[in-house]
């Protein structure tokens, strides 16, 4: 039986607006100036996984490890990539932690950066300090933005259980543990659409910012 902690650790859901232009500006800056932190931000954006869990996963990267997951009643490898569908998922195995999460989904094109920087991602406080010094969006707000997008995507489709499963919010699921394998299969099936939805939001804003910059340059 999987022991799932409730949301009892005193953290309130953020109501702070997170403008998409600030997300795009942070990603653009990091892509050009710090690929390691860009990797962390981008995985958070596409997975909704907690900042500290992304760092830990990348620094303890063990893709070939095979584990038996009791609540799924099956063996899985840490890393499973669906190249033909453009994404991977990495098993975190943190379902019973104080802040539970199970899987980290991300676009397959990020795998090259993962292999390049695994084991060398900076500490959480170092990344936070870097973002503050450079005047870019703090990492915690990338996750807030991601969670809002992911929930919007699944709410529109009436698939909130799948969304909560991807986000590791087991205490908010309406189904029992016996159905978790079905949720994993549904998550695998729909994730390419979710990744495209997230990409579309970011690309659209990036195009707007590019046009604004071109207009300013002409003036």
**1 occurs within a structural domain:** no
Domain that holds residue 195: 20-218
Check residue 11 and report its DSSP letter. P
% of the chain beyond a pLDDT of 70: 87
At 131, the pLDDT band (50, 70, 90 cuts) reads very high
Strand partners, 74: 69
Is 55 within the bounds of a domain?
yes
Residue with tokens 């998550």: 187
Q: How far apart are CA 57 and CA 116, in angstroms?
A: 14
Q: What CATH number does the domain containing 89 carry?
A: 1.10.443.10
In a domain, 124, yes or no: yes
What is the number of structural domains in the chain? 1
Query: Does some domain include residue 13?
Result: no
Position 8 in a domain: no
- Does the residue 182 lie in any domain? yes
Instruction: State pLDDT tens for residues 154-192.
Output: 999 999 999 999 999 988 999 887 789 999 999 999 999
Longest Cα–Cα distance of the chain, Å, equals: 64
Confidence of residue 95 (pLDDT cuts 50, 70, 90): confident
pLDDT band of residue 11 (cuts 50, 70, 90) is low
Residue 92 pLDDT: 96
Kindly state whether residue 67 falls inside one of the protein's structural domains.
yes
User: What does the pLDDT read at residue 213?
Assistant: 45
Whether 210 is covered by a domain: the verdict is yes
What is the pLDDT at residue 16?
83
């Amino acid at each position: 039986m999987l022991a799932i902690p409730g949301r009892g650790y005193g953290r309130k859901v953020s109501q702070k607006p997170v403008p998409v232009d600030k997300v795009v500006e942070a990603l653009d800056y990091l892509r050009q100036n710090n690929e390691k932190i860009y990797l962390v931000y981008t995985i958070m954006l596409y997975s909704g996984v907690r900042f500290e869990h992304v760092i830990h996963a990348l620094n303890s990267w063990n893709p070939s490890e095979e584990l038996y997951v009791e609540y799924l009643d099956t063996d899985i490898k840490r890393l499973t990539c669906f190249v033909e569908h453009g994404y991977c998922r990495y098993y975190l195995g943190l379902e019973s932690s104080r802040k539970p999460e199970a899987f980290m989904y991300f676009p397959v094109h990020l795998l090259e950066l993962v292999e390049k920087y695994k084991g060398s991602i900076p500490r959480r406080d170092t990344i936070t300090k870097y973002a503050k010094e450079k005047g870019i969006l703090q990492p915690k707000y990338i996750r807030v933005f991601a969670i809002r997008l992911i929930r919007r995507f699944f709410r529109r489709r009436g698939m909130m259980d799948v969304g909560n499963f991807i986000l590791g919010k087991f205490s908010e699921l309406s189904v029992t543990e016996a159905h978790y394998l079905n949720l994993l299969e549904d998550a695998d099936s729909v994730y390419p659409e979710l990744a495209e939805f997230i990409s579309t939001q970011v690309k659209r804003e990036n195009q707007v910012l590019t046009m604004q910059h071109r207009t300013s340059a002409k003036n």
